Amino acid sequence: MSVLRKIPIPFFAVVSLVLGIGLAIWQYDLVINRSKPTSKTRSAVDLQFRMNDGRTVVVPEDTSQYSVVMFWGASSERSMAMISEVVEASQNTELDSLFDFYIVNIENSPDEIRQSVAFDNSELPFGYNPTGDYFDDSPIQTLPVTIIFSPAGAVFAGLEGYSPGALQEKLYSTAAAMKYVGSSGEFKFRIE
């Protein structure tokens, strides 16, 4: 203890030195790890599915819009309720201009889907037979599941199950966040 008292270094100088070293290490770590992808910045997901109109959709598509993909099963009543909310959102001109909407069945064949729901309506195309590495990274545990993908293909937000009005709330909060988000789906600073 007597050795420390003989050293004429004020306590705040020691604290400043330790904080300065910590800051330098943190900055070095940021520079070194800048190019390494993280879960938020990794490349686009590998997800594709066939549509009842014959085309194959690969998420992300070559658009600047966010993609809303709802995975559902014909045997799930909650899925049927969520479908009506997705249809309502896709018909909202304010939301339709910001999002691409897809309803993708993961359990049934196209014939079984047509029997359970009147999807021969061309205004509401549905997807089926989804494939890709996305399911390896994020297995679906509950139906329905709604995922919002950024234009770059990163998962931006998700919604499990069905709760009345939850999808609308998630879409409007995502639309509000788009003001602060770049095309890659990462937040950016906004100077006003």
99 confidence band (pLDDT: 50, 70, 90): confident
pLDDT at 5: 58
Q: What is the DSSP string of 10-32?
A: -HHHHHHHHHHHHHHHHHHHHHH
pTM, rounded to two decimals: 0.66
Asked whether residue 186 carries a pLDDT value surpassing 70, the answer given is: no
Q: What is the pLDDT of residue 44?
A: 62
62-91 pLDDT, tens digit per residue, is 667 888 888 888 777 888 888 888 888 888
pLDDT of residue 62: 60
Question: Tell me: the pLDDT tens digits for 43-60?
Answer: 566 788 888 778 888 887
Residues 108-147 have pLDDT tens digits of 677 777 666 665 555 566 787 788 777 777 777 778 889 8
Cα–Cα–Cα angle for 148, 154, 158, rounded to 5 degrees:
30
What topology is assigned to 47-180 in CATH? Glutaredoxin (3.40.30)
Query: 124 near 86, Cβ under 8 Å?
Result: no
| More reliable by pLDDT, 176 or 184 | 176
